[in-house]
A and B are shown apart, each in its own frame.
Chain A
C-alpha cells in the first residue's frame, strides 16, 4: 500500500500539478470562475488521468519508444471521449459551461506529462496512485481557486448566497485578471508553507 500512497500524497500538495509543477494552468485559469465548475472539471480530468496512467503503465513494456507520444494521445483521447459523452448526456448544463475545455483535456499537459514522466516508468499500482493524487490535487486547487473567485466576484459559494446583500461583488475577480491574481497568491502560500517545513 505504501507504493500506492506515496505518489498519491505527493500529488495532492507537495507536487501539486498547478501550484508546484505549474502544468495544466490553461483550464485552471479558464474554468475556475465558480467552485462547482472546478469540481466537474477536476473530476473529469482525474478520471482521464487515472485511466490513461493505468493503461499506459500496463503497456509500457512493449510500446516502441519512438512512437509513444501518438500512442499516449490515442489512449488519452479515448478516455476524454468517454468523459465528453457522459457529461453531455448526464450533466448538459455543466457541459455547456465547460464547453471546449472538456475536449481540450486531450492536450492537457498534466495528463500527457504524467503519462510521460510517471506512468511510462512505473508500475501499475504506483501509476494509479499518481493519477488519483495528481487528479485530486488539480481538483482541490480548481475548487479553492473557483471558490475564492466566486465568493469575491459574485458573493456566492457553490451557487448559494454567502456574502451579505450589501456586499458589492468585485467583478474583476471573475474576469481573467482575478484568476491570475488568485493563483499567484495560492502559489505564494504554497511556497511559504514549503519553505517552513
Chain B
C-alpha cells in the first residue's frame, strides 16, 4: 500500500458513501448536501491524482451548484425536512438491477482491462495549469468556445422557460375589473 493509494481509497469510499446517502435520506437538504460532499470527495481524489487545478475547480464549483440544488429542493417539495418520510421512488427493483449491472460491468472492465504501462513523469502543478491554458487556447480552442457558447445558450433558454408567462395573468384580472363596470356602462348604451 502506498500513501496515494490509501488516500485514494479513503476519498473514493467517502464519495461512494455520500452518494448512497443521497438516495437513502428522507431530508431533501441533507440529500443535496450529501451530494455536495460526495463531489467534494471526488475533487479530493483529483488532488490525490495530482490534478491540482481540476481538483480545486471541482471543489469550488460543486459548493455553489449543490447549494443551489438544495434551495430548489426546498422550494419544490412539500416536506423538505423529510419528517413525513414519504416514498419518492418507483420501479425500485428494476433500477437496482440496472445500477447493479452497470456497476458490475464497469468494475469488471476496470480490473480485467489491460491498461498498459503506468506513466511516471507527471508535470508539476504550475506547469500543468500553464499547459492546460495553452491547450484550451490552442488546439482545443474551438471546443472550449463551443462549450462557452452552449452554456450561454442554456442560460438564456433556461431563463426564458422559467420566466412567468405574461398571458397567464390577464384572464384572471380582466373579468374582475370589467364585471363591476359592466352595469354602469350598460346605462350609457
| A and B: bona fide binding partners | no
**CB within 8 Å of B: which residues of A?**
none
